[in-house]
Chain A
Amino acid sequence: MTSGVVPLLTSSAGPANRARLPRPAAPSALFLFAALQAGAAIAAAVALEDNASLAWGLLRADPTARLFVVLIDVIFLGIAAYVWNRARAEPALEQVVREFARMSTAFMVAANIVVLANHLMVGWIALEVTTLCAAPLIVRRGVPASRRASWRYFLFSSVGLGLVLVGFGCLARSVELSGQVPTFFIDDLSTLVNGPPTPWQRIGLALVFIGYGTKLGLAPLYSWLPETYDEAPPAVTALLAAVQFNCALVCLIRVLQIYRAGNPELVANELLVIGLASMAVSTVSVIATRNFKRLIAYASINHAGVIAIGLAIGKSASYGVLLYVVSNAFIKAILFLTAGKIKAHYGTKDTREIAGLIKDLPFSGVFLMVGTFALLGFPPFGSFVGELIILSGLVRAHQILVFVLFCGLISMTFVAMGRTVFPMIWAQPKRAVSWPRQTLLGALPKLAFLVALVVMGVYMPSAVTRVFRAVAASLGGE
């Protein structure tokens, strides 16, 4: 039974050594590792029997694990391809690429464990390991602000995960007070938790949500996110926004799967408030900022808010939340990798200094345009369908006030984003510049993500739909 995931984890262990090979080999080794890992993840997701237990029961391949393992490994493959291409184009990056290869390999091993964990503490530890691996990668040579951003990221993560640990302690106390033996195994906990919530359980869940919410960039502990996403190198930002975000989300989903199985309304109001607050702060920030990386970062906070609202509603919104989550992973990867390219060429992140991208950098212009449309929830992308389902879930749940606020905030974000991004793409270029040619090879990873986005909005293969439905059902979906 364990054979399916063994290659997934062992294939993760090798490239750490491969990354120390002579310099030109590091980007290729990283890409090879990412390709093997993605292949192993897809094979494991298809071949393993449902709820297969692995590594003495510490890991489990349930539908949630299958969906997110494939998602994060495929996105990492795209990031590795981007890094490989950057290393080819910029030989001065060799040393940086080697460091990235080493740390991101360890990061991905831990990320896979987070998603597969059947033990709350194992998931927590692996998530902390991803933080330890990512923090040094945020630092860029010659940019002191990036080290300060890295420090803030690490500090907020430590505190957030610390709160989660206190929350786990409270949840264990709650189980103990009900006369049962506490455990952190997810499948065992699911059978232990029943009856009305106790004060210990309520405070425990609140701390767990605030803690994991910190990693997701949800209010109130979100202020690390814009600074970190802005200062980190694009490949690292994509890793944090599209991979680590989903790891933290899986940890949150696990807790919801356990505690809301018998009580679907549990913590719904708290999630709604956190979600709306996150959307509100992100909308204000999107209006105010003139830095395009920060703009995308604030939009990420908005996404986290939408996801929190969708999770609060549960039921019919669950399927929409999953579509939205998966779509956004691809959108963020596309946009942050594109932002890196734009910054590298223009030497600025000020939106007022950049104009006529579609003429200057056609591929980047198209990706920024399509990514922004997808980000704003336009058809035919998966994010559109996801957002629509969440909105209809709000109406069905008679949350009309939340529905109105949600629509108002989304509309304001749309106007503010459009006002800033569209001139960057279509306005007349402000200076005559001759850019190096953009190759199709360099654009390939983003193109693949784009295809995935459109496919999710237009036609979902039945096998994929089944997995989505199974995960939605575990979240109380109808």
Chain B
Amino acid sequence: MNGVLIAFALVLLLPLFIATWRASLLGLSLQGFLMSWIAFHRGVEWSAAAILELVDLVLVRGIGAPVVLWLVMRQQGVRHGRPLISSNLLSWGMALALVLIAFRVADKLVPTDGEAQTWVAVSTSGLLLGLLVLATQTDAFSQMEGALRVENAIALFDLSDEPHSPVGVRLAQSLLLVATMALFRWYLVHLSREANAPAAPEAPPL
């Protein structure tokens, strides 16, 4: 499992250095599929909650979220590269420093070397890098990518343990993610449309 976790860490890092939105979406999709692989092979008992988790990872995170964003970007005719963080040495240095901090945190929380420690380190890296993207970017697409990175980091962290919630709660969580994606799409479409449209008359406030 350590190899897959290292691959996940690379998928987290590489799109930060490649300034295209296609690479970002591919990275998100790969994160979903790598987590699906982990969920399939982690050796927990197959309960309804575990199956639901796998479906969530493949269909929502691996396929749904990146495809929805890709369709919106294509619809808007966006061709240029969109760096997730500023393309300079300082930003790249900050990203690498956050990964190092994540590994130090994991070292403190899980003192024995091994898979459990790597798991915490990679999840924490995902969380911190997602927050870095959110803190440094102002356009909606990059912020969405940052939020989805945070969501994926949480999902990866959850995978390191047996599911503790009833299946209904797990289902509700998956439905929330779908609703969140739908709302992301709604914002992405309207924010860019309003930015280019002439000012409309203001409706009376409620």
Contact = CB atoms under 8 A, between A and B. Distances in A.
B127 interface: yes
A370 B179 CA distance: 41
B158 A169 contact: yes
B203 A142 contact: yes
Interface string B138-164: 001001000100110110011001001
A28 to B, nearest CB: 16
Interface in A207-239: 233-236
Nearest to A156: B134
Nearest to A128: B176
B43 interface: no
A288 to B, nearest CB: 22
B176 A199 contact: no
A182 B140 CA distance: 37
Contacts of A122: 169
B147 A159 contact: yes
B205 A92 contact: no
Given A119-B169, A132-B176, A90 B204 contact: yes
A171 B161 CA distance: 12
Given A147-B187, A151-B140, A162 B154 contact: yes
Interface string B115-134: 00000000000010001001
Contact of A155 (B108, B109, B143, B204): B143
B202 A140 contact: yes
Interface in A125-181: 125, 128-129, 132, 135-136, 140-144, 147-148, 150-151, 154-155, 158-159, 162, 165-166, 169, 172-173, 176
Contacts of B194: 144, 147
A148 B199 CA distance: 15
B191 A344 contact: no
A136 B184 CA distance: 11
B89 interface: no
Contacts of A344: 204-205
B2 interface: no
A121 interface: yes
A142 B154 contact: no
Contact of B131 (A128, A129, A159, A173): A159
B49 to A, nearest CB: 12
A93 interface: yes
A142 B199 contact: yes
A142 B201 contact: yes
B150 A96 contact: no
A236 B158 contact: no
A166 B154 contact: yes
Contacts of A128: 176
Contacts, number: 107
A159 B145 CA distance: 12
Contacts of B169: 119, 121-122, 125, 184
A141 B147 CA distance: 26
A83 interface: yes
B206 A234 contact: yes
A101 to B, nearest CB: 11
Contacts of A165: 154
B195 interface: yes
A68 to B, nearest CB: 22
Contacts of B186: 136
Interface residues of A, number: 50
Given A151-B140, A158-B147, A172-B164, A343 B195 contact: no
Classify the secondary structure of B's interface with A.
helix
B109 A141 contact: no
A183 B172 CA distance: 17
B183 interface: yes
Contact of B206 (A100, A136, A143): A100
B200 interface: yes
B202 A141 contact: yes
Nearest to A86: B206
Given A169-B157, A235-B206, A159 B150 contact: yes
Interface in A97-138: 97, 100, 119, 121-122, 125, 128-129, 132, 135-136
A136 to B, nearest CB: 8
A203 interface: yes
A233 B204 CA distance: 9
B161 A176 contact: yes
Contact of B195 (A97, A135, A144, A340): A144
B187 A151 contact: yes
Interface of A: 83, 86, 90, 92-93, 96-97, 100, 119, 121-122, 125, 128-129, 132, 135-136, 140-144, 147-148, 150-151, 154-155, 158-159, 162, 165-166, 169, 172-173, 176, 182-184, 199-200, 203, 233-236, 340, 343-344
Interface of B: 108-109, 127, 131, 134, 140, 143, 147, 150-151, 153-154, 157-158, 161, 164-165, 169, 172-173, 176, 179-180, 183, 186-187, 190-191, 194-195, 199-206
Top-9 shortest CB links A-B = A233-B206, A141-B203, A142-B200, A142-B202, A144-B194, A233-B205, A235-B206, A125-B172, A162-B150
